[in-house]
């Protein structure tokens, strides 16, 4: 009788262990509404030198936040994080950046160099893992395409006023230019939440 009780006790323990394993393996999977737990960490990419705007400049999609136009080249714009959070049109997936992919998750697009040449624009396209969508953010803050480490994302020296903010937001063009110590204030970037 003792052996039978012991086997019964072991069966209960095994069942409980299996139940815990099954529950923990299914935790975080989608439900009927297809909602999932997001592990994306959104960051803005900002110029380390504030230049003429104490709020700083961030890589930005032209247009207004959720209504931004992904068919236009990227620009540098006053960072919106002063409003308390990273804006969807300036928000990049931090973990993808570490894998050399600059993805803006809200719009499901990737940053892409238009052509591997000096003065090339930075455009957006559906992510397809091609060489024009692979960039390196190095330890010195330079962002360059994997295909040409001599070209760096560069903010223009001149600005124009944007359509909102107080004080008014500022906008500058972005392009890939020859990496140069003379342009360090215009070519050195960081990421922040």
pLDDT digits (tens, 9 = 90+) for 115-174: 999 999 999 999 999 999 999 999 999 999 999 999 999 999 999 998 788 899 999 999
For 62-91, what is each residue's pLDDT tens digit?
999 999 999 999 999 999 999 999 999 999
Report phi then psi at 166, rounded to 5: -145, 110
**pLDDT value for 2:** 46
Q: Reply yes or no on whether the pLDDT at 17 is more than 80.
A: no
**pLDDT value for 167:** 92
Using CA atoms, how far apart are residues 161 and 163, in angstroms rounded to an integer? 7
* Residue 80, helix vs strand vs coil: helix
Residue 82, token pair as written in the block: 């002063």
Tell me which of 18 and 86 has the higher pLDDT.
Answer: 86
**pLDDT value for 62:** 96
List of residues 6+ apart from 184 with CB closer than 8 A: none
Residue 38, token pair as written in the block: 């997001």
**pLDDT value for 29:** 37
3-state secondary structure 49-76: CCCCCCCCEEEEECCCHHHCCCCCCEEE
* Residue 92, helix vs strand vs coil: strand
Percent above pLDDT 90 for the chain: 76
Query: What's the chain's average pLDDT?
Result: 85
**pLDDT value for 31:** 34
Using CA atoms, how far apart are residues 16 and 158, in angstroms rounded to an integer? 67
Q: Reply yes or no on whether the pLDDT at 39 is more than 70.
A: no
Based on the number of CB atoms within 10 Å of its own CB, is 35 exposed (0-12), middle (13-18) or buried (19 or more)? exposed
Residue 108, token pair as written in the block: 């499901």
Q: Which structural domains are found in the chain, ordered by start?
A: 42-192 (2.80.10.50)
Residues in the chain: 193
**pLDDT value for 40:** 76
Q: Which 8-state DSSP code applies to residue 132? A: G
Tell me which of 75 and 22 has the higher pLDDT.
Answer: 75
Using CA atoms, how far apart are residues 18 and 57, in angstroms rounded to an integer? 53
């Amino acid at each position: 009788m003792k052996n039978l009780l012991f086997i019964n006790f072991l069966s209960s323990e095994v069942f409980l262990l299996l139940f815990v394993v099954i529950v923990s393996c299914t935790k975080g999977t989608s439900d009927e509404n297809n909602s999932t737990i997001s592990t994306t960490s959104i960051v803005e990419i900002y110029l380390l030198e504030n230049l003429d705007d104490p709020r700083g400049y961030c890589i930005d999609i032209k247009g207004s936040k959720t209504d931004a136009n992904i068919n236009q080249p990227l620009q540098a714009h006053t960072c919106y994080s002063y409003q308390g959070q990273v804006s969807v049109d300036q928000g990049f997936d931090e973990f993808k950046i570490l894998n050399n992919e600059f993805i803006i998750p809200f719009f499901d697009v990737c940053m892409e160099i238009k052509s591997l040449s000096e003065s090339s624009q930075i455009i957006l396209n559906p992510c397809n893992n091609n060489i024009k969508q692979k960039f390196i953010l190095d330890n010195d803050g330079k962002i360059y395409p994997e295909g040409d480490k001599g070209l760096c994302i560069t903010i223009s020296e001149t600005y124009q006023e944007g359509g909102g903010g107080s004080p008014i937001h500022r906008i500058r063009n972005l392009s890939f230019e020859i990496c140069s110590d003379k342009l360090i204030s215009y070519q050195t970037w960081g990421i922040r939440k």
